[in-house]
C-alpha cells in the first residue's frame, strides 16, 4: 500500500517549462549568438542549473548561474502557474494523511519561490532541494532520504516526475515511478524510460492509489 508520495516540482507541479526554455535561449543567444535546438533543450531538461549554463559557456558558468537566477526570479511569477488540477489534488492528498514530499534538482530559493507563488507551502511534510542532498537526481540520494525520514519501505512510496532524471532516480531507489504526460519529453522518449505508470491527468494518481489500497 502506498503511503508516501514524492513529487518533482518544476515541470511536474508547476509549469516552468516555457520560462526555463525562454531563459536558456535568452542566455544562449546573448553569449553564443543563437538559440538552443529543440533536441538540446530536451537534453538539458531537469539538469542542474550549473550543467545548463556550462552548455552555454563552461568558462563563464558560475557567472551565468548567478545571472540566470536573477533573470528567473524577475520573470517567475508572471510566467508560471500550476498544471491543471495539481493544487486540488495536493490538497486532497494532504487530507488523506499521506506522507507528501518534494525532491527537486532546483535550488532551495527557487523551490520556495514556486511554493509561495502557488500558495502550497503548507502541503508538504518534507521538501528537499539540491542544497540538501549529497547528489542530485538521477542519483537516488534525495528519494532515499525521504524513505529514511518517514521510516517507510521502497514499496510504500511512489515518485512522480517529468524527466529522465526522475525515472532513473526512482529506479535506483527501488521505488515505483510515475511520469506525467505533460512532460516536455515526447511519447516515444517516455516509453523508452519505461516508468511504472504514466499520468495523463492529475486525477489518475487517485486511481493508482485506490488500486494500491485494494491490492494491499
pTM: 0.92
pLDDT at 214: 47
- The alpha carbon dihedral of 184, 88, 141, 154 has a sign of negative
Give the C-alpha distances (Å, rounded to integers) separating 206 from 40, 95, 168: 34, 13, 23
In the structure, what pLDDT confidence band is assigned to residue 209 with cuts at 50, 70 and 90? confident
d(CA 188, CA 147): 31
> Which range is least confidently modeled, 122-131, 134-143, 179-188?
179-188
Whether 154 has a pLDDT exceeding 70, the answer reads yes
Task: Please write the tens of the pLDDT for every residue from 81-97.
Answer: 999 999 999 999 999 98
The helix (H) or strand (E) run that includes residue 62 is helix 61-79
Task: Please write the tens of the pLDDT for every residue from 42-60.
Answer: 889 888 899 999 999 999 9
pLDDT at 159: 98
d(CA 183, CA 92): 23
Report the 10 Å Cβ neighbour count for 118: 18
Task: Give percent of the chain with pLDDT exceeding 70.
Answer: 98
Biggest distance spanned by C-alpha atoms of the chain? 57
pLDDT at 172: 98
Amino acid at each position: 500500500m502506498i503511503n508516501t508520495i514524492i513529487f518533482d516540482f518544476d515541470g511536474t507541479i508547476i509549469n516552468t517549462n516555457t520560462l526555463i526554455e525562454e531563459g536558456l535561449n535568452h542566455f544562449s543567444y546573448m553569449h553564443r549568438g543563437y538559440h538552443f535546438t529543440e533536441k538540446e533543450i530536451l537534453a538539458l531538461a531537469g539538469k542542474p542549473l550549473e550543467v545548463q549554463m556550462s552548455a552555454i559557456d563552461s568558462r563563464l558558468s558560475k557567472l551565468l548561474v548567478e545571472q540566470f537566477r536573477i533573470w528567473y526570479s524577475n520573470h517567475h511569477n508572471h510566467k508560471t502557474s500550476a498544471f491543471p488540477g495539481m493544487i486540488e489534488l495536493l490538497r486532497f492528498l494532504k487530507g488523506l494523511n499521506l506522507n507528501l514530499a518534494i525532491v527537486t534538482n532546483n535550488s532551495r530559493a527557487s523551490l520556495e519561490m514556486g511554493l509561495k507563488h502557488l500558495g502550497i507551502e503548507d502541503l508538504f511534510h518534507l521538501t528537499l532541494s539540491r542544497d540538501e542532498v549529497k547528489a542530485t537526481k538521477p542519483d537516488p540520494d534525495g528519494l532515499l532520504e525521504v524513505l529514511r525520514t518517514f521510516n517507510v519501505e521502497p514499496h510504500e512510496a511512489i515518485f512522480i516526475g517529468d524527466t529522465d532524471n526522475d525515472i532513473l532516480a526512482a529506479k535506483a531507489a527501488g521505488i515505483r515511478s510515475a511520469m506525467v504526460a505533460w512532460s516536455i519529453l515526447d511519447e516515444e522518449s517516455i516509453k523508452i524510460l519505461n516508468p511504472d505508470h504514466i499520468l495523463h491527468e492529475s486525477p489518475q494518481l487517485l486511481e493508482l492509489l485506490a488500486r494500491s489500497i485494494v491490492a494491499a
